[in-house]
């Protein structure tokens, strides 16, 4: 159903899931894109980076093939690019969280052209059942690289716990060994560590920024904490670690939320619906009036 190319955090998993749903997925190189589209016409071109989006829009300009653009982690330079080119020309803009959607709207992209499709997690790999990594008798707190300095400062007020910062080496076994996972980045458009933790039934303490504001439901699947307040974070961790019933309740709710909203099968199905809509919606000149709000992916 779609032609997909370029690299993206999910550019490997999504094609596999789409293929499993019965859709043909082909990857194209930028240098041969226009020629390949002419010989093997797709229904949709899905770009996963801004350079890919520009290449795709150039290649399809004399056709009616729609371009779907995925973008995560926007910065001011990308805002200008979206507003001037991709945001006004692509059939659909896909972001992973409501914060990114709001930033695109503030840059001039119509909300009705934006769909929110979150990051996915493999719930068959990341789940509460299975081997558990070795740990000492102390409580274990896992933190992401981004924000680890803040968590480290807070841990001085939680002497009964150890801190593990695994970097890219996050495994289900390690997450199952944790009592809590802390995500306090300055920005996170995907929330992948939080999703993996919740899939493993581990409560998440998070700053409600980017995707974390969508993924972690305060008081239901985890706890929200204010930005850059290590003493407050330490108090939250002490209370959470001292309450095994609450940790279990949050963990069970987190797993349920991931299964309902963030499984890769759910994400792939949402993308198929966006492809279908994009095939009928051709990019049109930016109107001067207001638009209806698109809530797809929410």
User: What are the structure tokens assigned to 143, written together?
Assistant: 């933190």
Confidence of residue 157 (pLDDT cuts 50, 70, 90): very high
**More confidently predicted of 224 and 188:** 224
Gap between the Cα atoms of 286 and 113, Å rounded? 11
What mean pLDDT is predicted for residues 240-261?
98
With 0-12 / 13-18 / 19 or more C-beta atoms within 10 angstroms meaning exposed / middle / buried, residue 111 is middle
**What are the b/e assignments for 186-217, b being 16+ CB within 10 Å?**
eebbbbbbbbbbbbbbbbbbbbbbbbbbbbbb
CATH for 139-262?
3.40.50.2000
What mean pLDDT is predicted for residues 102-106?
86
Does residue 297 come out as left (phi exceeding 0), alpha (psi in the -120 to 50 range) or beta? Answer: left
What mean pLDDT is predicted for residues 48-62?
82
Residue 277 has pLDDT above 70, yes or no: yes
pLDDT at position 264 is 93
Confidence of residue 197 (pLDDT cuts 50, 70, 90): very high
pLDDT at position 72 is 64
Gap between the Cα atoms of 15 and 25, Å rounded? 6
Confidence of residue 74 (pLDDT cuts 50, 70, 90): low
Mean pLDDT value across the chain: 85
Instruction: Look at residues 293, 278, 219, 292 and name the one whose alpha carbon lies nearest to residue 43.
Output: 278
**More confidently predicted of 80 and 191:** 191
**What are the b/e assignments for 270-283, b being 16+ CB within 10 Å?**
bbbebbebbbeeeb
CATH topology agreement for domains 2-120+264-280 and 139-262? yes
Instruction: Look at residues 118, 99, 294 and name the one whose alpha carbon lies nearest to residue 213.
Output: 99
What mean pLDDT is predicted for residues 209-218?
96
Angle between helical axes of 230-241 and 244-257 (0-180°, round to 10) = 100
Query: Any idea what the Cα angle at residue 172 is, between residues 162 and 72, rounded to 5°?
Result: 95
Q: What is the pTM of this model?
A: 0.85
Residue 48 has pLDDT above 90, yes or no: no
pLDDT at position 79 is 52
**More confidently predicted of 128 and 16:** 128
Residue 146 has pLDDT above 60, yes or no: yes
Domain ranges of the chain: 2-120+264-280, 139-262
Strand 161-164 relative to strand 139-143, pairing: parallel
Contact assessment for residue 251 and residue 129, using Cβ atoms and an 8 Å cutoff: no
CATH superfamily of the 2-120+264-280 domain? Glycogen Phosphorylase B; (3.40.50.2000)
């Amino acid at each position: 159903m779609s032609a997909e190319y370029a690299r993206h955090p999910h550019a490997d998993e999504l094609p596999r899931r789409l293929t499993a749903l019965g859709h043909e997925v082909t990857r194209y190189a930028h240098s041969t894109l226009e020629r390949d589209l002419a010989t093997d016409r797709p229904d949709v071109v899905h770009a996963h980076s801004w350079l890919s989006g520009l290449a795709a829009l150039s290649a399809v300009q004399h056709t009616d093939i729609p371009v779907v653009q995925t973008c995560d982690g926007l910065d001011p330079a990308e805002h200008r690019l979206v507003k001037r080119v991709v945001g006004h020309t692509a059939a659909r803009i896909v972001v992973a969280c409501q914060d990114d959607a709001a930033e695109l709207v503030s840059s001039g992209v119509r909300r009705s052209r934006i769909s929110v499709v979150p990051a996915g997690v493999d719930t068959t790999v990341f789940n509460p059942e299975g081997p558990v990594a070795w740990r000492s008798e102390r409580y274990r707190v896992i933190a992401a690289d981004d924000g680890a300095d803040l968590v480290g400062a807070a841990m001085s007020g939680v002497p009964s716990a150890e801190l593990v910062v695994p970097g890219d080496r996050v495994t289900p076994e390690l997450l199952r060994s944790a009592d809590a996972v802390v995500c306090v980045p300055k920005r996170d458009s995907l929330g992948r560590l939080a999703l993996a933790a919740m899939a493993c039934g581990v409560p998440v303490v998070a700053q409600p920024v980017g995707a974390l504001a969508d993924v972690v439901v305060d008081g239901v699947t985890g706890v929200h904490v204010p930005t850059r307040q290590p003493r407050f974070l330490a108090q939250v961790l002490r209370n959470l670690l001292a309450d095994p019933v609450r940790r279990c309740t949050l963990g069970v709710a987190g797993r349920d939320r991931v299964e309902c909203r963030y499984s890769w099968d759910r994400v792939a199905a949402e993308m198929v619906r966006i492809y279908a809509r994009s095939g009928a919606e051709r990019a049109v000149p930016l109107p001067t009036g207001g638009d209806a709000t698109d809530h797809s992916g929410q």
